[in-house]
Chain A
C-alpha cells in the first residue's frame, strides 16, 4: 500500500505568517490528493480536492499544489481560526489512506 507522510508533524507560527505543510506519497498518485482541516473538538472539513481545487466556502488564503508524489498545502497568511490539525489523503486507489496530520498552532 502507498504510504502518506506529512511534515512537519506540528508547527507554531505567528499571525500573518505564510505556512506550508507537505505531504509525500511513497508512490505516484497523480493529483488524487485531498486536504482536510480538523479544528479542536470538531469534525474534519474538506479544504482541497484533486490536489489544488479549493472547496466552496474555503478562504482563498488556502491553496494546494503538487502532483505525483509531492504535495503542498499553503496558508498564505495565518489567522487565529486556522488553528487545527491538517490531514492529507490519497484517493487514487484503495485504500484511501490519510497522512499522519500536521498540528498548526499560533506562536
Chain B
C-alpha cells in the first residue's frame, strides 16, 4: 500500500523558514517523480514544485521560485521542501504527491494527507 506521510508544518512568522518532509513507502520511490501541491483554506489546488526520479530536474511554480527548494533522498525514501522568506499567502495545506512517471511533470496518483503551514505574525 502506497503511503505518503508529511511532517514539518506549523505556525511561522512572515519572512521565516520552514522545512517540510514526506516519508514514502509501499512503492519503489526512486522510480517516480514527486511533487508538492498546496491548497489554501477554501481554495483550489496549486502545484508548487516537482522533482524527477533522480533529482536532475527540479521545477517550481513562479509563486515560490527562488524561495522554495525541493529535494529528495532516494536512500531514505524521503521528499523535502525547504521554504524560505515565507509570506502570508503561503498559508496552505501542503500535500506530498507521487507522479505516475519518472519526469517532473506528470499526473499524480497518490497523495499524502497534507501538513498545514500557517504564516502569521
Contact = CB atoms under 8 A, between A and B. Distances in A.
Interface of A: 1, 34, 36, 38, 43-46, 49, 55, 85, 87, 89, 91-101
Given A93-B105, A94-B59, A96-B106, A43 B44 contact: no
A97 B62 CA distance: 11
B44 A46 contact: no
A80 to B, nearest CB: 23
Interface in B98-119: 100, 104-109, 111-114
Contacts of A91: 105-107
A73 B57 CA distance: 31
Contacts of B37: 98
A98 B47 contact: yes
Contacts of A89: 45, 47, 107-108
B95 A43 contact: yes
A98 B44 CA distance: 8
Contacts of B105: 91-96
Contacts of A101: 44-45
Counting chain B CB atoms within 10 Å of each CB, the highest count among A91, A93, A99 belongs to: A91
Contact of A98 (B46, B104, B113): B46
A43 B114 contact: yes
A91 B35 CA distance: 12
Q: Which of B100, B107, B108 lies at the interface centre, i.e. has the most chain A CB atoms within 10 A of its CB?
A: B107
A43 B104 CA distance: 21
Contact of A95 (B44, B59, B100, B107): B59
Contacts of B59: 94-95
Given A49-B107, A99-B44, 17 more contacts: A34-B107, A36-B108, A43-B111, A43-B112, A43-B113, A44-B95, A49-B100, A55-B109, A89-B107, A93-B105, A94-B104, A94-B105, A96-B50, A97-B47, A98-B44, A98-B45, A101-B45
A87 B45 contact: yes
